[in-house]
Every structure is written in C-alpha cells, then in structure tokens.
A and B are shown apart, each in its own frame.
Chain A
C-alpha cells in the first residue's frame, strides 16, 4: 500500500467516510451484467445451497437446493443455472465484427494479417466477493468433465444436457479473472476496494456490507458505525441483519434456521415416499412443497440483501467516468471470449485438469505482462494513481522552463531537442535513463541528460515521435510553459520471448505432452458433494 492510499485511509477514519482511491473507473462495466450471488453448504466442497442470478435488478431468479447432499437436486440446480447463464453468454457470441489478427503462416512462416471475427461485446459476470470467484472456478471444475446421457449412455449418473458446457464457460470466466485488469468476471468487493479507501483494513474490506457502509453510509451514521452494524448487528432470532455476502453462510443461520428446515424437508420426503394411497400422497406432497417453500424463503432472505448491495455497488461505480484505457483492456476480454467461443464451436475438449508446461508458462507470462500494462495504464488514466508513482520516484511532473534545439550527430542529423523541466518530484534518474510521456495516446521517449539545482530542474533529450524532417513536427516537442508528466516505466508492454510449441516442450519441462487423451470424468461415489 502506498503512502498516498494510507493517507486516504486515515482521512477516511477521521472524516467517517471512504475517500477516493481513484478519480476514474478502472474496470469495464457492462450495460447488462449478469449478477450471481451464490451460497454454499458449510463443510461440503462448494456444494451449492442456492443462488440469486440474473441481469434484471428487480427480477432475480432464485435457485435453491433444498437438500444439498442429494445429487439429483444438485443437478437440477446446475441445469437451472445453465438455463440462465448460457442464453446470456450465447447472446454475446452471436454479434460479431470483423477484426484483424496477426498469425504465423504455416507454409511460409511469415507473420501475416488474417481477417477474423471478434465478438462485438462480451458477457460480464459479477459476484459479491472473492469467495464467489473461487466458487465459479470450482463449479466450472466440477461440471466440465461430467458426461451427459447423450455423450455416454453408460454413465451411472448422467448430467443434464448443457451442464458440461456451463462448466467450460465458468472455467473460462474463472481463469480469465486471474488476468490482472480483466473484467469478464469481477468481485464487487475488489472493484469497490480499488476505487475507494475506507477507514478499515483491507482484510475488513472483504465484507461487502461493511465496505459499502464506509462508501455510502446511511443518513446520520458515520462509516465506522454503519460498518460495525453491518458486521455484527443481529436480530431478535440471533441472525445477522446483514448476512455475509457468501458463498459461506453464517453458522448461526445454519444451526438455528437452515438445519431444522432441511430436517423437516427430509421428513416430508420420507413420508411422501411411504405414502400408501393417492389421497395420502396428495396430502404429503403438500407438506413437502411447504417444506421446500420454507427453505426457498430462507435462502432468499440471505441472498436478497447481498443482491441489493451488489447493484448498489454497481450504481456507485457507474457514477465514476470510465478511464481512457479501459476500453482497450475490455477489447482483450472480448478477444478472450471470442477465442473460447471458437474453441467450444470447434468441438475441442474441455480445459484439462492440469495445464501442460507451455500453456502454463504462457498463462504466467500473460498475467505478468497484463499486470505491468494495468499498472502503466492506470497511472496514465488517473492523476491520483500517477501521484503514487510520482511519490515513489517512478514518474515526475512539472513545467517546461527551457527548450534548446539540438541535433544528433551523424550523416543525417535528426532533431534531439533538450527540454528543461522544473519539478518538485524526486525521480530516480540515472545517466541516460529513458523516460516516457504520452503524446496523443502514443508514448514519446526521452533520455535524462542532466539535473540542475539539486534535482529541481531536469534536462531531457527528446528522442522520437518528431517526424522524419529536420525540423520537429509542430506540437511534437513541449514548449516553454507547458505542463508535462514523464514516467520512468514504459507505457506499452512488449511480449516476452516466444515459447516453443507444445510438441517441442524440452525434457526439462516434462517433454512433449503426447497425444491429447480425453480426460475421464471424475469417478462418481455415493457421497459426492458437487
């Protein structure tokens, strides 16, 4: 945490309200995000208990598993979830625009431009907290290797159709969420925490209710008071008035309300199975429906407050103007979405359980590159982020006090003007350190040519973006009196060295992966949890 954000947190403590940690919005927000508020059963590896899901704030779809240990009920839940998520995803897969991509021609080995489809927009999943992202990944993992009756008539517990497909999509969303700056799958606490500094620790910011209480406290309360209420206030029945954003539930809810309700449901089911005639069965079916209704109400009562909070968070975020580079990063998300759509359409097998060495190295390289890109772009888009970089000596801003024309030595002298900048910042500049500024969206580079008066004046030699002529193009060299901001970090990230094809994996990394074998489904046992 930089000193600037620490200061913002301390100001939040002192004023009782969260303070801005960003002046623009650094993540893309879809016009029609799919909000997903899941709950799981404690102790079972991600066994779903229920969820609220949908794109319409006023009409969420409630999905409930009345007995989380029952495989058929879990499958019904997953099938219902597929019915909501897949049409939403498909809607974005259809509208495409033409785009160009550079590919290596397999015959000539040259880099050529190819015209391909790029989805015009991409779906966006929003979950309340980081635990939600983990659950999306877990659900994806549990579903993508399942076999439907159509794929394999022998399979002991066939999954409903489309469930394996949902698993592949959720896996893709979960994997993409690990790429810094991506917005296909967002956790509301992370996004809010990026844009506001609260008067509590980052650990406590993981509680969506407390976080929102600091950002937008109700009338007459300070952020600290409202946050405390969100964390601890319990009603007469001992239940939290602001239920945790999940996917884990509060133990008091499990023990006092949910467990008895599930027990009643089980009893009603056993009674129905034991019914001897139609009339008795009718009665008992009524009891079963009532018991199920009760569990549905319980799940709704725990998810609806979180659902509202996620939308409140979206409202708050939408008030911020979008950062200039957000669109570009979203385009990368669209590429990623289009790529997965194509893999699914081409009938490729689901993502493997473990990546081969080359894929894993590529993923890691992508994440590192995107992290550097994100840091650079956020600083360029947002003066508050840039302020942090200036404080740490990675950038400096100031006024141009002098411009002296100079030329490079050589046969064709090119302009290499010397620009003096007066600055209060203390950048870490060494001899000929390269610095960059944004000129019409493109980085212009310069090198450090000397400092005067103990670093208060920095002399820079501008190196490029001045045109081909002997005289620099108008506007390409700062003029006296201009405010300029240079960074010591590069604005655009270069890709790393190319990795070998998977077939060429060296023995040090396990050798070529060999024939891609179709991964078997997980063995099914009597006591599975997901």
Chain B
C-alpha cells in the first residue's frame, strides 16, 4: 500500500497533471511577477503560473501568439553590463553598496564570495540559505552572493527566484541588488522601469525575509535596495538606493489575497490539461474553464493577453476598453447594453448611470449635428 499522500504532494501532483505529462515546470519569472501585480484577481493567470505552464507556448498553441521576445542585442548588452558590475570579485558593486547604503561600516577591501552551485533549484535554495547563515555568523565581513536562489510560496506553490545579487553587510544585515541595463541619465531613470525593478526587488526581499525568519537571531533584511544602472550614455555603473517598503507591503498583501491555487484547481473539471501538445479546441476549452479578468494592462504583462482580449471583445465586455471605462458605467458591462441604454431602448431611467449615459448621448448627438451644419 502506498503511503498516504500529504496535502502538499497532492497539490504538486495535481499541478503536474495540469501542466501535462513530461512538460517541465516553468519558474515564476519577472514578467509573471509583474502580471501578478498588474492583475491579482485573474484566476487563469494564477493557476497557469502556479502550475508552471509555459504561457508563451500555450498562447501560440491557442493561435494567439504573444508578442513578447527579447532582442539578442538587449540580452548581450545586459549580460555584459552585469559582468562588468560584478567584475573583480564584486569590488565595484560592494563599493557602491558601501557608498549608498552603509557608509558607517568598514569599507569593503575584501569580500567573501561563496560558491552557490548545487543541483536543481531546491538544492540551490538550500545552498543559498546555508551560505546566508554562514555569512551572518561572520560579523565584520562583507559577503557577496552572486545569483542566489530563493523560494517563495506563491498561492500555495513554491516559486524559485533568482536575484542578481544579495550582499551581507558587516553588521549581518542583508541587501538585495538589482542590476538593470536602462540608463540613469543625469541622476534620474525612467520611472516606469524603476517601478518595475522595485516591485521585482520587493518579491526578493519577501523571500529573503522568510529565510531570515528561520535564523536565530534573525538578521535584518534591508528595505532599501541597491539599483545599479549604466550611467548616462556609458557602460559605467551608477547606483541608487531605492526604498521598496511600499512595493513590499503591496506585494505581500497581494500574495496573501491571491486565490489559493488549490481552490482554483478544485473547480477545474477532471482531466483538464494545458499541455501545448493538445489540439487547439481542447486547449481552448481547458483555458476557458478558468475565468480570466482581462484588462488592457495585461497586454504588457501576460503572454496570454491576446487570447483573453479576443474573448473579452467577443463577449462585448466594456473592460476591454480599459478599467476606468468600466468604473463609470455602473452595472452595465457589455457594449450593447450600454449603447441600448444610451439610445433609450433599455435600462432603468432612474438609474444614475443610465440617466448620465442618455444625457451624454444627447449632448454628443447635438454637438455632432451642430458641427455638420
């Protein structure tokens, strides 16, 4: 008789079934995290990301390929910059951390650079936790962890995260380092990109805090991270401390209110599978069995957005024109409902949303007529 399965293994098994036989799980990456922040209420995105489904492959199999991709120029440039920042045992990087975040500490003349290689993400996570404990037990020394691996529980399934670097200060506190290839021009960078980097770093901070909580005494995870970017038009690193308390609080709140993946998985019919190998109709049916909450913001964050947009448009949902549109139309959710209400063919005239619509339609018609004359 096989041993009774625990809840955790049962879920893992269920998620593997959803992913399809022999399909490797895709780790939660920066884009998935961004999608999480942009649309926490979307059950479809939650289950697909939770099960580690490759959404780009799924979107292609559905016939609505995503438009994401990375140019090799950007990749080469990004890698070259990161290598430059971390060159010489991270001397420049540690100098920046010292200058921007920890002036009171001893300047880093030499640093510990533990080897973090281990088989598999679980192994690397364990190795990272071990080295973090080691480093914290060495007061007075700087330690640079290059590409550590951290685990974070996202809606009931573990996500493995790989920050660019984590620095352990001489006082035992930890700092997340983000290395990005967008420029810091005259001391300021594109706010949208800085915001995305801060949200990403906030997730790393949350994951680090879980590691820290298991240590005794538990070290401090700093809430100011170091963002390293190329300065102006050069390849020289410039850094800036970014306070991520707000993003950390927001992400933590969203992670707790994510619908449990288990609960979503339970609502799915038996035998549902998202393997890109399946024929398109079967896949469409499988995807349709999980509700999505599409909004145009998804287009920049989720690989499945074109598919969901097509569905949203087919049903005439007003949200496909943007979330604010939905907000001002009260209980009317489809294009035809709104237009019928505006024309006076449907809707309760005492409903303030309907009354406002009719007024708007009359004023618009009057103005257009005036312009035609």
Contact = CB atoms under 8 A, between A and B. Distances in A.
A141 interface: yes
Interface stretch (B109-117, B260-268, B284-292, B355-363): B355-363
B63 to A, nearest CB: 10
A228 to B, nearest CB: 8
A400 to B, nearest CB: 18
Contacts of A4: 360, 363-364
A251 B233 contact: no
Given A43-B77, A43-B78, A1 B325 contact: yes
A7 B364 contact: yes
A2 B74 CA distance: 40
A353 B186 contact: yes
A83 interface: no
Interface string A506-526: 000000000000000011011
A314 B338 CA distance: 33
A44 B75 CA distance: 10
Contact of A45 (B64, B185, B299, B366): B185
A386 B335 CA distance: 25
Interface stretch (B158-166, B203-211, B216-224, B315-323): B315-323
Contacts of B6: none
Nearest to A141: B185
Given A142-B233, A202-B322, A523-B234, A251 B368 contact: no
B361 A7 contact: yes
Interface in B326-354: 328-329, 335-336, 338-339, 342
Contacts of B77: 42-44
B329 A387 contact: no
B9 interface: no
A453 to B, nearest CB: 18
Interface stretch (B13-21, B65-73, B92-100, B239-247): B65-73
Interface string A325-340: 0000000000000000
B259 interface: no
A530 B77 CA distance: 14
A9 B70 contact: no
Interface residues of A, number: 59
A13 B74 contact: no
A391 B359 contact: yes
Contact of B73 (A6, A20, A252, A254): A254
B367 A43 contact: no
A527 B234 contact: yes
Nearest to A20: B368
Contacts of B67: 231-232
B367 A387 contact: yes
A354 B321 contact: no
Contacts of B316: 13
Contacts of A252: 69
A192 B79 CA distance: 39
Contacts of B68: 251
A201 interface: yes
A384 interface: yes
Interface string A201-212: 111100000000
A233 to B, nearest CB: 11
Contact of A43 (B181, B318, B321, B360): B181
Nearest to A244: B67
B contact face: mostly helix, strand, loop, or mixed: helix
A161 B48 CA distance: 57
A528 B234 contact: yes
Contacts of B106: none
B342 A13 contact: no
Given A23-B371, A353-B186, A251 B69 contact: yes
Contacts of A45: 182-183, 185, 230, 232-233
Contacts of A526: 235
Contacts of B320: 200-201
Given A204-B299, A254-B72, A383-B371, A390 B321 contact: no
Nearest to B360: A3
B180 to A, nearest CB: 11
Interface in B78-125: 78
A108 interface: no
A482 to B, nearest CB: 15
B196 to A, nearest CB: 16
B364 A255 contact: no
A259 interface: yes
Contact of A10 (B69, B181, B335, B359): B335
A41 interface: yes
A44 B325 CA distance: 37
Nearest to B229: A45
B306 interface: yes
Contacts of B78: 43
Given A3-B360, A254-B73, A13 B335 contact: yes
B363 to A, nearest CB: 4
Nearest to A384: B367
A4 B329 CA distance: 12
Contacts of B233: 45-46, 142, 522, 528-530
Contact of A525 (B235, B306, B322, B357): B235
A224 interface: yes
A23 B367 contact: yes
B69 A23 contact: no
Contacts of A382: 367, 371
A429 interface: no
Contacts of A353: 186
B367 A44 contact: no
Given A1-B325, A6-B329, A43 B371 contact: no
A42 B73 contact: yes
B360 A232 contact: no
Interface in B117-139: none
Between A6, A259, A388, the greatest number of chain B beta carbons within 10 A of the residue's beta carbon is seen for A6
B4 interface: no
Contact of A384 (B232, B329, B335, B371): B371
B282 interface: no
Contacts of A522: 232-234
Contact of A203 (B181, B299, B371): B299
A43 B318 CA distance: 36
A3 B73 contact: no
Interface in A368-417: 382-384, 386-388, 390-391
B186 A254 contact: no
A36 B364 CA distance: 36
Among A3, A142, A255, residue most surrounded by chain B Cβ atoms (within 10 Å): A3
A42 B363 contact: no
A251 B70 contact: yes
A55 interface: no
Interface in A1-29: 1-4, 6-11, 13-14, 20, 23-24
Given A6-B329, A10-B339, A13-B321, A203 B297 contact: yes
A8 B335 CA distance: 11
B191 interface: no
Given A201-B321, A232-B67, A43 B234 contact: no
Nearest to A42: B71
19 contacts: A1-B322, A1-B324, A1-B325, A4-B364, A10-B318, A10-B342, A14-B336, A14-B339, A23-B367, A44-B77, A45-B230, A46-B233, A203-B296, A204-B296, A232-B64, A232-B306, A254-B73, A259-B73, A387-B366
Interface of A: 1-4, 6-11, 13-14, 20, 23-24, 41-46, 138, 141-142, 199-204, 224, 231-232, 249-252, 254-255, 258-259, 353-354, 382-384, 386-388, 390-391, 522-523, 525-530
